[in-house]
Structure 1
Amino acid sequence: MPLTDTAIRKAKPGASTIKLSDGGGLQLHVHPNGSKYWRLAYRYDGKQKSLSFGVYPEVCLAEARKRREAARALLREGKDPMVERRVEKLARAIAAGNTFAAVADELLAKMTREGRAETTLRACPEGS
């Protein structure tokens, strides 16, 4: 039976983690401390896996269902949703320029603006 928002709000923590199922692999894990986490249980390449969708109520039931459907679409295409998420995250980081070289260049530029000694700047070769 699918979950309802009321049932989720009323879910009380137990002595151990309680799993409430919405169907299609979507589960809400209610931990003993009262926190509630969305997870998708799925199989890929013969192995049982779990993909986190976030914390309730930050991620509502409708949003968790949308994320489940997107992950299931990837599975139908023969792709592992967890790997796809990591690739997407890495691509965003590279696009944002958060590489070590970019951060190092930014630091050297800042040190130059602050008037650091030339010997300090030479100790940090550019482009390495």
Structure 2
Amino acid sequence: MALTDTTIKNAKPKDKDYKLTDEKGMYLLVARSGGKYFRLDYRFAGKRKTFALGVYPETSLKEARVERDEARKLLANNIDPLEEKKSKKVQLIAETTNTFEAIANEWFEKMRSKWTGYYAEKKWGSLKKDVFPSLGAKPIKSITPGDVRAILDSIQARGAIDIAHRVKGICALLSG
């Protein structure tokens, strides 16, 4: 029998975890702690696996079914949904940790010991003032020449040509 919102809302915890089945391998796991979890059981490469579709009520029944259907499409294309989810998570982490500011900070820490204090502060100050406000949080791979050009134009507009050259060199070095 397919799940309904009413069935899910009325599901109460028992002494043991139990399942309320939906369709196409999906079910709601009602934990004895009271948590309600949408799951999908499937087989891939001869092994039984369970894919988490979401937690009720943060994930609605409709959303869980959409997620289930997407997972089943991956399976139909011989792709393990768990592995796909993991790779997307790794990619997201890489994109968020490889921001321009993070890469610049790593580079600066490596180079700092080779420079005088004044020179290091000048370089870092240029980045903090002119580059980080617009590019700092951007993933390094998504930065375009147009992004850098806009920063250089604004620096040159205030007459700081030497700073523009310094920033251009740093940006070219970091975005590689």
Classify the TM-score, shorter chain.
0.7 to 0.9
> What is residue 50 of structure 1 aligned with on the other side?
50
Partner of 2:79: helix, strand, or coil?
coil
Would you tell me which structure has more helix in proportion to its own residues?
2
Q: Which has the higher strand share?
A: 1
What is the alpha-carbon distance in structure 1 between the residues aligned to residue 89 and residue 6 of structure 2? 33
Matched residue, 1:5: 5
2:154 aligned residue: none
2: CA distance, partners of 1:40 / 1:10: 21
Compute the displacement of 1:105 (Å): 2.6
TM-score by length of 1: 0.77
Counterpart CA distance in 2 for 1:8 and 1:79 is: 30
Secondary structure at the residue paired with 1:23? coil
Matches of residues 96-107 of structure 1 in structure 2 within 5 Å? 96-98=96-98, 102=102, 105=105
Percent identity of the aligned residues?
A: 44
SS of alignment partner, residue 41 of structure 1: strand
Query: Counterpart of 1:90 in structure 2: which amino acid?
Result: V
Q: Aligned pair in 2 of structure 1 residues 32, 103: CA closer, same or farther (>3 Å)? A: farther
| Stretches of structure 1 lacking an aligned partner (at least 5 in a row) | 113-117, 119-128
Q: Which residue of 1 aligns with 2:73?
A: 73
**Distance of aligned partners of 1:104 and 1:25 in 2 relative to their CA distance in 1, 3 Å threshold:** farther
Aligned partner of 2:172 in structure 1 is: none
Amino acid aligned to 1:9: K
Residues 5, 96 of structure 1: CA spacing in aligned structure 2 closer, same or farther, 3 A cutoff? same
Q: CA deviation at 1:66?
A: 0.1
TM superposition shift of 1:98: 4.9
The one-letter amino acid paired with 2:23 is G
| Rounded Cα–Cα distance in structure 1 between residues aligned with 2:28 and 2:19 | 6
Rounded to whole Å, the distance in 1 between the matches of 2:43 and 2:75 is 9
- Over 3 Å counting, the alpha-carbon distance change for 1:103 and 1:78 in structure 2 is same
Q: How many residues align?
A: 113
Give the RMSD, CA atoms, in angstroms: 2.7
| Residue in structure 2 matched with residue 95 of structure 1 by the alignment | 95
User: Helix, strand or coil for the counterpart of 2:74?
Assistant: helix
Q: Give the gaps of 5 or more residues in structure 2.
A: 118-176
Give the match for residue 63 of structure 1. 63
Residue equivalent to 2:84: 84
Aligned mates of 2:56, 2:103 — CA distance in 1:
34
Check 1:13–1:83 CA distance in 2 against 1; reply closer, same or farther (3 A cut): same
The Cα shift of 1:19 comes to: 0.5
